Amino acid sequence: MILSRRKPYVCQEMVELITDYLEGALSRSQRRSFEAHIAGCEHCTEYLKQIRTTIRISGRLREEDLTPAMAEEFSALYERWRLESD
């Protein structure tokens, strides 16, 4: 069985491949090389953790509620539409 014909990735390539890896867009052999590098490189492992942390922190920016004032505006909008559609 041929394990990998691909030249091993260097760190500088790894940081550019990371999104394709997380998106599941690497070919099987690319993925194998990527994971082999991660397994042996603490710096790239750290980098991958940092990207995952970045994604997680972005997910915290979600809260944005409809304020009562906005809800009132949308009520008025709805009424306007009701009137024009009657």
Partner 1 sequence: MSLLSHIPVPALHLNVLATFAAVAWQGARSHAEDEDAALLKRLREGDEEAFLALVGRYQGTMLRLARSFVGSGAVAEEVVQDTWLGVLRGIDKFAGRSTFKTWLLRILVNRAKSTGVREDRSIAIGDAGPAVDSARFDDSGAWMAPPEHWVEDSEDRLLAESLAEEIRAALEELPGRQREVVLLRDVDGLTSDEVCDVLDISEGNQRVLLHRGRSRLRQALESELESA
What residues make contact with partner 1 under the rule CB under 8 A?
Answer: 10-13, 15-16, 18-20, 23-25, 28, 31, 43-44, 46-47, 49-51, 53-55, 57-66, 70-71, 73-75, 77-78, 80-82, 85
The Cα 31–Cα 46 span in angstroms is 18
Smallest gap, in angstroms, from Cβ of residue 82 to partner 1?
Answer: 8
C-beta of 5 vs 60, nearer to partner 1? 60
The minimum distance between CB 56 and partner 1, in angstroms, equals: 9
Q: Which two tokens stand for residue 58?
A: 């972005």
Min dist. Cβ of residue 5 to partner 1 (A):
17
Q: What is the 3-state secondary structure (H, E, C) of 12-38?
A: HHHHHHHHHHHCCCCCHHHHHHHHHHH
Number of helices (H), then strands (E), in the chain: 4, 0
